[in-house]
Structure 1
């Protein structure tokens, strides 16, 4: 059958579709293949509205559609990035601490981890042996220079290179435990020197997790003025001559975890560590570490206490009974010379009792007269060193600090200017402001 062309068409013009069904089908297939990736849109209603037609999107419409899709994809990407932050943030917070972040830690924790981590925030009571090797030294008499030769009361075997230790400038040891005051308030601790009492006592602890990546290196300790510890230890001789000891885990009290780092300084054949307030530790290295000389045992030594390490909770305070808190401890990280053969250690000097009774006012757990005041990180050093004063702040920025010597609350304005001494229970002013007296803001 002949194909009829349009009379007005040039040579090669398309055939009339209605007369060639096969060509019509072929052309439709070609156009469909060419436009298969182009979406179709519905045309506006025409005629009686029952006949629906569609067309391919124009280039302008396609560009607008692509712009809307890109905006939507960008929004999804931002939302996913926001959600990913919340997923990764807890992982970053719970990552084990890196080397050099603590001096002592529980050996029950894995390498690189310094905190007990559980959903309830529970910190267990642990044995002192979980933190390291412990030795308790003391003396009952002074030499001609007024120093106290220290002898071993109990504990682990001491390093052969330790030689001899003298405690200089310390008053008789012991703080007693007789206390008054209601629970939750400030207490007064009194003590007296009993017959045969120790005139000086120190506790030594070497970390048990040597090689743990979370512990300070010797090089780091040489450059530090203060170091972090997960253990604060207190040992005292009570009025009846018995020994009492306990410790606190500092995980939940950041204001308790930093203590001074002290280096020995050579003075002739001796090495001297200065603990402030005239208290020193004099070390004479053992020339021959293989010899049997060194620190002898203390004759008729009092029985060593069983020491547990508690979390800082009210329940623990009730078990200890009238505890003294870490800001009042005289404890240090003690670093020996590099060639000494003796590893750095944690040392606690028993709080002196003087030549008679002393009074020590424990910081209160709360300030009833100033309910808006909340505990904050301590900044002011306790007179005598080894700790910092308990501190609070209220919503107006006023600063409250506990004076353990007077048992009064020192209050400062938000600029650190002294406002006076006050009773923490009644709010009564005890002493007026002292001109020129300030505290760190």
Structure 2
């Protein structure tokens, strides 16, 4: 296998009893990197957002080379949208595998199309702009433990791995390796300080907002020719949309608007709010979300449906709090849901593709 918790004995691939809540660092050295700006065809550098080891140590594990994300030439995949996309990756490099024959050798990856790993990782931007990284323990779940193996192919001095949907991972050697001091930081981006590997879905749902599960991850193990000296790395990719213009007409809603957020697909966007937002351009969906709640708070009719505490929240651009029985764990505010997933081509800024949901109903939707 590729990686497992350091708490699992040699010769074993998973916990003998119930798996604990482990820190991600127990599976190896990890780093989170992002482009910070739209991915370009020639490659946009990945800069450091968070890591479990020093920047210099991570760079050393990468052969002192630099990583970037690029758009494949003459290719526009389903995940590449107008306005550009910003890429964030979580990278895992296992600690020493010596003396434990359950780990693959570096040479074996050349013959593998899929490989087993004890953890799969997701990385995402939260509504407040903080980057969250978490993993799921795969155990003996056959639908979770296998990930694609992708070869990095030589292209001149670079090595390039095709991550699918028109996105490439590019490794570029340093001109002067001895002068590499680490990976530059991506300024202005905060990384959530806790990075857990959850043993079960229910536990994750008590802490995380709409946690994605491993079958939905865009992850792979990237292997380099043995002669490069670069060991295989696990990489999980997340892309988010750049700027976009609001479209859609919304729906007329009868009664208390957010009462509809507790069932079905949730509460549709009211026509009067769609009229206020349509045609406006936003730099990110987070910026749109803030403007959306402000418009709700400014509407004379809708604003009367909130108590004073929630009115102050939405007029400041924050989602209103739900009733206790509609909350799940730490998720206690209304959430926006894309009816057709963005990954499946759903329109990001079309209000007709959006619904407001309670956390409990949002979780139920994603379970179906």
Normalization by structure 2: what TM-score? 0.58
In structure 2, what is the Cα distance between the partners aligned to 1:112 and 1:209? 14
Show the counterpart of 2:94: 207
1:158 lines up with 2:46 in the alignment: no
Offset, 1:147 = 2.7
Offset, 1:252 = 4.5
Deviations 1:197-241 (A, max 9, x none): x92211111112421211011111111010011101001012321
Show the counterpart of 1:130: 26
In structure 1, what is the Cα distance between the partners aligned to 2:143 and 2:220? 15
SS in structure 1 opposite 2:207? helix
CA 1:249 to 1:215, structure 2 compared with 1: closer, same or farther past 3 Å? same
Contact (CA 8 Å) 1:164, 1:294: kept in 2 or not?
A: no
1:232 lines up with 2:128 in the alignment: no
Show the counterpart of 1:70: none
Offset, 1:153 = 1.6
Show the counterpart of 1:114: 13
Show the counterpart of 1:189: none
CA 1:230 to 1:144, structure 2 compared with 1: closer, same or farther past 3 Å? closer
SS in structure 1 opposite 2:206? helix
Deviations 1:240-272 (A, max 9, x none): 211112110011422111110011111112111
In structure 2, what is the Cα distance between the partners aligned to 1:267 and 1:110? 40
Offset, 1:356 = 4.0
1:331 lines up with 2:229 in the alignment: no
Offset, 1:357 = 9.1
Structure with more helix by fraction: 2
In structure 2, what is the Cα distance between the partners aligned to 1:291 and 1:340? 19
CA 1:162 to 1:245, structure 2 compared with 1: closer, same or farther past 3 Å? same
SS in structure 2 opposite 1:319? coil
Contact (CA 8 Å) 1:163, 1:294: kept in 2 or not?
A: no
Show the counterpart of 1:49: none
In structure 1, what is the Cα distance between the partners aligned to 2:179 and 2:147? 34
Contact (CA 8 Å) 1:241, 1:302: kept in 2 or not?
A: yes
State which of 312, 337, 348 in structure 1 corresponds to 2:236: 348
Offset, 1:162 = 3.3
1:291 lines up with 2:179 in the alignment: yes
In structure 1, what is the Cα distance between the partners aligned to 2:13 and 2:159? 32
Q: Which runs of 5+ in 1 are unaligned?
A: 1-101, 171-192, 359-402, 408-424, 427-441
Contact (CA 8 Å) 2:87, 2:238: kept in 1 or not?
A: yes
Contact (CA 8 Å) 2:58, 2:182: kept in 1 or not?
A: no
Contact (CA 8 Å) 1:131, 1:208: kept in 2 or not?
A: yes
Offset, 1:302 = 1.7
**Residues 304-319 of structure 1: pairs in structure 2 closer than 5 A:** 304-319=192-207
Contact (CA 8 Å) 1:265, 1:271: kept in 2 or not?
A: yes
1:254 lines up with 2:139 in the alignment: no
Q: CA RMSD in A?
A: 2.9
Show the counterpart of 2:131: 243
**Residues 376-387 of structure 1: pairs in structure 2 closer than 5 A:** none
Offset, 1:293 = 5.8
In structure 1, what is the Cα distance between the partners aligned to 2:109 and 2:148? 11
**Residues 94-113 of structure 1: pairs in structure 2 closer than 5 A:** 102-113=1-12
Q: Which runs of 5+ in 2 are unaligned?
A: 73-82, 247-339, 347-363
Offset, 1:351 = 3.6
Offset, 1:137 = 1.0
Deviations 1:88-107 (A, max 9, x none): xxxxxxxxxxxxxx111011
Offset, 1:294 = 5.9
Contact (CA 8 Å) 2:150, 2:223: kept in 1 or not?
A: yes
SS in structure 1 opposite 2:227? coil
Contact (CA 8 Å) 2:3, 2:117: kept in 1 or not?
A: yes
